[in-house]
Structure 1
Amino acid sequence: MAFIAPIAGPCVWRGTEIAASNRWIRPMDRAVSRALIAAADRAREAGIEWSAVTRDQFQVPGLDELCAEAREELENGSGMAKLTGLDFAGLDPRSQRHLWFGLGHHLGTIVSQSNSGLLMKAIQDEGYDVAASHGVTVDENGKPFLSSYARTLTNGPLRFHTDRCDVVGLFCIGQAAEGGVSKLCSTGAVHNEILKRRPDLLEILYQPVPRTRFGEEKGGETSIYLLPIFGQRDGRLTSHYSRTYIENAQQLPQAPRLTPQQVEALALLDSVAAELAFEMVLAPGEIQLLNNHVIYHARTAFENDPATGRVRSMLRLWFAMPNSRALPEDHAVLWGRVDRGAIRGGIAIAA
């Protein structure tokens, strides 16, 4: 068996530790909040679509410093950052997307979330029928099998996973009446716990696993690619994981079959992630940023109450980060470019 060393550094933490810490929280100064809202309102009132907002239109004193702190925490700290302090009550709902897109330009390069070039996605319950239009097949029992993208747009739970970008950002617009709790865990801590318990299974997780591009690229439901769960380059960890894409590959006859050891390793990863995670709920106006290379995230099921206005809604952006880590060469099959600071990730736009 190949020697695998434990991951070290501030990105390795247990949920009980991080839940009691504010090291990943970055408060927004009131002056920054006011200036952001003013910039968003000016853009909207000028008739500029949110998707046409530029970085220059959000030259807010103090914003670049705040974003630089967040980038540092994301890449070299805990792997997470939460921006708080935005005067959400004072933000015109018509300016929400303008503000988030303008702020996003100062965090990194915004990349596409769909093959049609979608740059910002409202993450909310669109109902089963609508979600199915984003990717659905039938499993071996004849039951509908939703793509990961489609599952995000229901009120059901989401398993631990990563997104196809360096950093995913969620701007909280509203919360559900019940549930919708975020679960976050350190990929490095999961890696180390598996190393302690079952080093033989950790070695398997460094080996290629068949996946599909189901619900993402056009024709992706029949496209198989191989990628390990864990990889390292220059001593830095990366993990890309979504059980749905692995399960969907197993529905296709052309995909290599998972071995019993691979099935056992994936089950252990899921179990350890649940053990080491912590739970949190974003308040309206807060922004959650997660480095997908070192953080797994999940969500509990939720129930909305439209009569009282308690409806869960997030605006999601995907980022390529200027200070991102280099990735192993075999990760190019998913990421495109693997060099440090590359503009990468997202979903290729269909021709």
Structure 2
Amino acid sequence: MAPGLIETQHSSSESGRVNKVIFPDGYKTSGQHEPVHSAIQPYNRFPKDITGPTVWQPHQYRNNPEKWTHAFTEEEVAEIEAAADAFIESGLPLTAITKDHFKLPKLAILMQELRKTLIDGQGFWLFKNLPVGKWNLQKSATAYMGLGTHLGYFVSQNGRGHVLGHVKDLGEDPTQTDRVRIYRTNARQFFHTDSGDIVGLLCIAKSMEGGESDICSQHHVFNCLQREHPEVAKLFCEPIWYADRKGEVSKGEKPWMKTAVFYLENDPEGTPRLSPLFPKRSCMR
């Protein structure tokens, strides 16, 4: 979701400032609405060169899986399973899950460190050894969502308000790009945007083929644009790009949003991040 674009009448405190406790990673919108164009930072305020761990190249990670992979131990799996069982026994709906409803006495520290890695670091991670083959779908979904509450807060996946989506071939026609979500088909997903800072994937059943992902450093891409094609970087920072709603249009809304590809957080009290529409990613197997 795009940072820095909050409608003040909906989210301001009495002092006129947004309560940052609600948005610990920067001011947000729901990701389903157009930005408040008057609040968008102009291009001349964007950094010319970004430095730090968010800027990397493939050779730094390609042959070093220990830098981006964690295999859950038996003890950690037992902790996750106990938390999932306790939540299921509570009878609460999955949408009610929170960190307080999914206690991880030991793993919580690791998840907080991972949160920093995803937001302010390399931006991707892979977990292994979740025993989804042994668990039923309810427990798998509960464990997945519960782990996610230690990284952030969930947002809707589609126009129906689903907070948990399934990448599964439902036999829909992938050529109907104006109204069919590609993850409900068996077609290749091309590069696209997701309205969230972190995207998580849980592999329940391994496909016979496909399923590979391409990963890059968004800040490295921006640095290259600033250095080699600043006129293109400038265009990407302007809200002149149209995002298709794929037929999921709320009452009174247009079938598309006019937005920017890169945003600079509108945070006068902190160090603004450059935040692309493309999210960070964590995967679990």
| Pair in the same fold by TM > 0.5 | yes
User: Residue 213 of structure 1 contacts residue 220 of structure 1 at CA under 8 Å; is this kept in 2?
Assistant: no
Distance in structure 1 (CA, Å) of the matches to 2:191 and 2:99: 33
**Kept after mapping to 2: 8 A contact 1:24/1:73:** no
Using the TM superposition, name which of 77-86 and 162-171 deviates more. Answer: 77-86
Aligned equivalents of 1:63, 1:225: Cα separation in 2 = 39
| 1:11 corresponding residue in structure 2 | 54
Mapped partners of 1:55, 1:184: distance in 2: 28
C-alpha contact (below 8 Å) 1:214/1:221 kept by paired residues: no
Alignment-mate amino acid for residue 169 of structure 1: G
The one-letter code matched in structure 2 to 1:75 is I
Structure 2 CA distance for aligned equivalents of residues 219 and 197 of structure 1 = 43
Q: Distance in 2 between matches of 1:196 and 1:184?
A: 21
**Count of paired positions:** 234
CA distance in 2, matches of 1:67, 1:59: 12
- Alignment deviations for residues 177-224 of structure 1 (CA, whole Å, 9 cap, x no partner): 011211111111111222333222222222222314522432588345
Offset of 1:98 from its aligned partner? 1.8
1:153 maps to which of 173, 178, 184: 184
Secondary structure of the corresponding residue to residue 196 of structure 2? coil
Query: Are residue 195 (structure 1) and residue 239 (structure 2) matched?
Result: no
Residue 135 (structure 2) pairs with residue 114 (structure 1):
no
Map 1:214-253; keep pairs closer than 5 Å: 214-215=245-246, 216-218=248-250, 222-233=254-265, 234-240=271-277
1:139-167 deviation per Cα after TM superposition (whole angstroms, max 9, x unaligned) = xxxx73345x6112212122223310121
Determine which structure has the larger strand proportion and give its number: 1
Q: In the TM superposition, what is the alpha-carbon distance from 1:49 to its structure 2 partner?
A: 4.4
The 1:54–1:202 alpha-carbon spacing in structure 2 relative to 1, beyond 3 Å, is closer
Distance 1:162 1:105, change over 3 A: same
What is the CA deviation profile of residues 71-128 of structure 1, one whole-angstrom value per residue up to 9, with x for unaligned ones? 0101121011222333344433441112122222222212222233211111111122
Aligned positions of 1:1-351 closer than 5 A: 5-21=48-64, 22-44=66-88, 49-129=93-173, 144-147=176-179, 150-215=181-246, 216-218=248-250, 222-233=254-265, 234-240=271-277, 291=280
Contact 1:40 1:95 in 2 (8 A): yes
* Inter-partner Cα distance in structure 1 for 2:108 and 2:80: 12
CA displacement 1:292-347 (0-9 Å, x = unmatched): 7xx9xxxxxxxxxxxxxxxxxx99xxxxxxxxxxxxxxxxxxxxxxxxxxxxxxxx
**Backbone CA RMSD of aligned residues:** 3.1
The answer to which structure has the higher helix fraction is: 1
* 8 Å CA contact 1:113, 1:119 repeated in 2: yes
**Which whole-Å CA distance do the structure 2 matches of 1:4 and 1:46 have between them?**
48
- Cα distance between partner residues in 1 of 2:99 and 2:233: 43
Q: Report the TM-score, using the length of structure 2 for normalisation.
A: 0.70
1:42 Cα deviation after fit:
4.5
Which stretches in structure 2 are left out of the alignment for 5+ residues? Answer: 1-42, 266-270
Question: Does 225-234 or 175-184 show the bigger shift?
Answer: 225-234
Q: Which moved more, 1:66-75 or 1:209-218?
A: 209-218
Identity %: 29
Secondary structure in structure 2 of the residue aligned to 1:211? strand
CA gap of 1:39–1:207, structure 2 versus 1, over 3 A, is: closer
Question: Relative to 1, partners in 2 of residues 1:209 and 1:152: Cα closer, same or farther, differing over 3 Å?
Answer: farther
> Any idea what SS the aligned residue of 1:86 has?
coil
- Are residues 238 and 35 of structure 1, via their aligned partners in 2, closer, same or farther at CA, if it must alter by over 3 Å? same
C-alpha deviation, 1:64, in angstroms: 1.1
